[in-house]
């Protein structure tokens, strides 16, 4: 299923998302030190690193849930640091957090409606149809509350809600966490399909090897600092990266 029919990738040279010299943290505790990262239109960028490296913190900072102490974050050359999440969503960037990423007391359909909260009311059913076409399972269970659904199904609801706004960039925080191997493959398949439709994806993954295999580029983060950058293949081939971060 093709999510969008035609989206020119003419601005390929201009990065969609660009973070430079970002330092951020909680309270007095600084977790990210001078981190840089960029995502260009249409690519999959994978962010890997050990636990506590600051991957999720970087995602939250990009999305305005945390405000950087220094550094700049731009989306389509517009500065977005210091802006609120609900403003950033409107620019065409959507985020799927790792945990608590669905409204458990709402039904699947209501969850999707909330994903399209910024849309014109008449537009919502059309977008919903497209998400159902991408995830037919959700259509069958559209009247069910997501609190009663399995982890894999919730992940679909979460991604589906993020796609409602038809964003250019999707931020995924550990989409495969806690899922069975079969479901992990399904999720990665979905990410590939979404990307094939023209969306850029920035994802944090524990499943580093698998995510680098499909990523155009990757960043390795450790102790809140950039360690290695490169294309997915380069990082996979790098013996240090393999030894330290890919489990040998």
Partner 1 sequence: MPDNQPHQSQPQLPADERRLGERVRGVIRTRGFLMATLVAILVAMYLAGLATGASAQRLLALTAWGLMLGGIIALGSIGLTLIYGVMKFPNFSHGALVTLGAYVAYTLIPLLPTGEVLRPLSFGYEFLIALVLAMPVVGVVAMAIDRVVYRRLRNTGAHLVLFAMASLAMAFFVQSMIYLIWGPDFHFYYPGRPNPALYLPFGIRVRADQLFILLLALVLVAMMYVLLEWTRMGKAMRATADNPHLAQIRGINTERVIAWTWVLGGGLAAAGGIMYGLSSQLRPEMGFWLLLPMFAATIMGGIGNPYGALSAALMIGIAHQVSTSFLDPTYGPAVAFVLMVVTLLIRPQGLLGRTER
Q: Does residue 165 bind partner 1 (CB under 8 A)? A: yes
Q: Does residue 29 bind partner 1 (CB under 8 A)? A: no
Measuring CA to CA, how many Å separate 160 from each of 167, 169, 181, 207, 242? 11, 14, 21, 22, 33
Select from 33-41, 112-120, 190-198, 238-246 the region that touches partner 1 (CB under 8 A): 112-120
Q: Does residue 75 bind partner 1 (CB under 8 A)? A: no
Of 9, 12, 104, 196, the residue at the interface with partner 1 (CB under 8 A) is 104
177: three-class secondary structure by DSSP: coil
Question: Residue 201 and residue 192: Cα distance in Å, rounded?
Answer: 9
Question: Residue 128 and residue 204: Cα distance in Å, rounded?
Answer: 26
Select from 1-9, 17-25, 32-40, 87-95 the region that touches partner 1 (CB under 8 A): 87-95
Q: Does residue 84 bind partner 1 (CB under 8 A)? A: yes
Select from 111-119, 133-141, 187-195, 208-216 the region that touches partner 1 (CB under 8 A): 111-119
Question: Residue 179 and residue 240: Cα distance in Å, rounded?
Answer: 28
Q: At what angle do helices 108-115 and 151-163 cross, to 10 degrees?
A: 30
Q: How far is the CB of 118 from partner 1 (least distance, A)?
A: 4
Q: Does residue 218 bind partner 1 (CB under 8 A)? A: no
If the CB atoms of residues 40 and 109 are measured against partner 1, the closer one turns out to be 109
Nearest C-alpha neighbor of 44 from the set 154, 175, 199, 178: 199
Nearest C-alpha neighbor of 72 from the set 97, 44, 37: 37
Instruction: Record the tokens describing residue 110, joined without a space.
Output: 């209501």
Q: Does residue 103 bind partner 1 (CB under 8 A)? A: yes
Q: How far is the CB of 148 from partner 1 (least distance, A)?
A: 7
Q: Are 114 and 86 in contact (CB under 8 A)?
A: no
Q: What is the DSSP letter of 162?
A: H
Nearest C-alpha neighbor of 135 from the set 193, 93, 48: 193
Q: Does residue 121 bind partner 1 (CB under 8 A)? A: yes
Q: Are 200 and 45 in contact (CB under 8 A)?
A: yes
If the CB atoms of residues 117 and 192 are measured against partner 1, the closer one turns out to be 117
- Provide the mask over 122-161, with x wherever binding to partner 1 is found by CB under 8 A and - wherever it is not: -------------------------xx--x--x------x
Residue ranges in contact with partner 1 by CB under 8 A: 63, 65, 84-86, 89-90, 94-95, 97-106, 110, 113-115, 117-118, 121, 147-148, 151, 154, 161, 165, 177-178
């Amino acid at each position: 299923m093709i999510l969008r029919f035609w989206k020119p990738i003419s601005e390929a040279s201009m990065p969609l998302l660009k973070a430079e010299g970002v330092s951020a943290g909680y309270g007095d505790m600084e977790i990210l030190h001078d981190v840089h990262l960029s995502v260009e239109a249409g690519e999959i960028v994978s962010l890997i690193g050990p636990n506590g490296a600051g991957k999720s913190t970087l995602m939250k900072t990009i999305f305005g849930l945390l405000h950087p102490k220094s550094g700049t974050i731009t989306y389509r050359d517009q500065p977005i640091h210091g802006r609120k999440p609900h403003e950033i969503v409107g620019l065409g960037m959507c985020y799927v957090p790792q945990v608590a990423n669905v409204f458990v007391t709402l039904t699947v359909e209501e969850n999707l409606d909330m994903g399209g909260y910024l849309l014109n009311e008449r537009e919502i059913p059309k977008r919903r149809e497209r998400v159902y076409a991408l995830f037919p399972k959700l259509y069958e269970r559209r009247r069910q509350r997501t609190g009663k659904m399995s982890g894999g199904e919730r992940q679909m609801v979460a991604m589906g809600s993020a796609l409602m706004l038809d964003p250019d960039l999707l931020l995924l925080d550990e989409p495969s966490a806690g899922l069975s191997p079969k479901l992990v493959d399904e999720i990665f398949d979905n990410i590939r399909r979404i990307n094939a439709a023209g969306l850029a994806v920035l994802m944090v993954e524990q499943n580093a090897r698998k995510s680098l295999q499909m990523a155009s580029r990757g960043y390795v983060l450790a102790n809140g600092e950039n360690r290695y950058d490169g294309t997915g293949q380069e990082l996979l081939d790098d013996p240090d990266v393999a030894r330290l971060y890919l489990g040998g």
